[in-house]
Amino acid sequence: MCLPGMLIAQDAAQAEVATVALETAVEATTALDSGNTAWMLTATVLVLFMTLPGLALFYGGLVRSRNVLSVLMHCFVIACLASVLWIAILYTMAFAPGTSGWLGGFEHIGLKGINIDSMAGDFPETIFIMFQMTFAIITPGLIVGAFVERMKFSAILLFTALWLVLVYAPVTYWVWGGGWLFESGVIDLAGGIVVHATAGISALLLAKMLGPRDGFPSKLHVPHHPAMVMIGASMLWVGWFGFNAGSQLAANGNAGMTMLVTHISAAVASLTWMCLEWRINGKPGLVGIVTGMVAGLATITPASGNVGPLGAVCLGFLAGIVCYFACGIVKNKLKIDDSLDVFAVHGVGGIMGTILVAVFGTTVFGGTGVDDMVQQLGIQVKAVGAVVLWSIIATFVIVMICKFTTGLRVTEEVENTGLDQSEHGETAYQFE
């Protein structure tokens, strides 16, 4: 195999050698390192925990009580669907060596050729497959926040499947799998581009095409369970250590620094958001502070392998401010019901971090790996632009396909009754 994951930390020249000369790569495979293996097993568990139940609870608490089960259901079914698609076709599309820079090969279709002895660097490839699978689970899971309380269940399944094949797998190959953006030297340790930019921009377009919830924007109902939001968000914070530090693919000093800067950014962004709310609305809210935390984590994600503690403070501070105002702009100025602010928090945060790593990754800010700020800035902006453009085109096509096959929205009656009862036949809260 081409060991794409391991290539992330290496420079482009080495990458080329490894990708082109497969045999050399196989010979170069080092013996199994049990420390790294143990950490990657753990990191995989942490990232799955982000979606189940972290993200599900974070989103579930933000909707009305009549729709909470539908949101939990969406996150769960997407996890299952993405898993099956990942082993069937997505892994090979994303990580097998491709003939062009655009798409991975098909040699591992259905995980063909992978066995107990297959290695990804110095740990088993099965773990690398599982680790990356959890990323393919949470990315379409993030998009759930854009369509809650109104999208048809069948349309959600079709959208998710097509989106993983047309957006997630190709972009993963471009950035991490040895594709054209990887070759260009783009920095994206854990998915500012691959996860947050793709999900954020697709969420915004889907929300626009789907139309707003009944009552948007003036007659909406308050989040039904802010405590659930906090519990889910806290699980995301914990899981994010696996997401970012795990993306170093080793239990070493880099992983330690990544964990440290990830945590700093989350804390600073939370405080920044809280202070803004306190000043603007008069009261510091729980939903606000935890949203700031998610913004801080999304923003540090692409940069977490290159910035130092000072850079993390700066990124967290900017995440809190920019994402806070982005929420208002999307809902009040653009009038798009991106219901749970997927674009404003994940999209804006991920894109901002991807671009600013070129600045905060320089030695001036205590970072590493960025020698020429201007040149790196150009690479980062180009990568973001290309991925955003592709996400828009592909998402538009996918939504149109859904529109003319499954249909997009539930009926007005179903929306009023709530998706829990009418789509799933269950009720969240029983009073006996």
CA 44, chain centre distance (Å): 14
Contact between 212 and another protein by CB under 8 A: the answer reads no
CB nearer another protein, residue 4 or residue 349: 349
Question: CB-side exposure of 179: number of CA atoms within 13 Å?
Answer: 23
Among 220, 275, 314, 377, binds another protein (CB under 8 A): 220
Among 128, 163, 168, 324, binds another protein (CB under 8 A): 324
Among 20, 21, 22, 280, binds another protein (CB under 8 A): 280
Quick one: which segment of 90-98, 145-153, 183-191, 325-333 binds another protein (CB under 8 A)? 325-333
Among 288, 311, 350, 418, binds another protein (CB under 8 A): 288
CB nearer another protein, residue 108 or residue 225: 225
Contact between 327 and another protein by CB under 8 A: the answer reads yes
Rg (CA), the chain: 21
Q: How far is the CB of 347 from another protein (least distance, A)?
A: 15
Opening angle at CA 195, ends 19 and 331, nearest 5:
155
The torsion defined by the Cα of 205, 206, 207 and 210, in degrees rounded to 10, comes to: 130
Contact between 219 and another protein by CB under 8 A: the answer reads yes
Q: How far is the CB of 41 from another protein (least distance, A)?
A: 36
Contact between 429 and another protein by CB under 8 A: the answer reads no
Q: How far is the CB of 286 from another protein (least distance, A)?
A: 10
98 to 157, contacts with another protein by CB under 8 A?
A: none
Quick one: which segment of 221-229, 259-267, 364-372, 416-424 binds another protein (CB under 8 A)? 221-229
Contact between 227 and another protein by CB under 8 A: the answer reads no
Contact between 331 and another protein by CB under 8 A: the answer reads yes
Q: How far is the CB of 214 from another protein (least distance, A)?
A: 14
| Nearest CA-CA partner of 196 in 50, 20, 23, 96 | 50
- For 82, the token pair is 């993405």
Quick one: which segment of 71-79, 282-290, 379-387, 415-423 binds another protein (CB under 8 A)? 282-290
Quick one: which segment of 17-25, 141-149, 241-249, 322-330 binds another protein (CB under 8 A)? 322-330
Contact between 366 and another protein by CB under 8 A: the answer reads no
Contact between 221 and another protein by CB under 8 A: the answer reads yes
Its sign, for the CA torsion 234, 239, 243, 244, is: positive
Binding site for another protein (CB under 8 A): 217-223, 277, 280-281, 283, 285, 287-288, 291, 324-325, 327-328, 331-332, 341
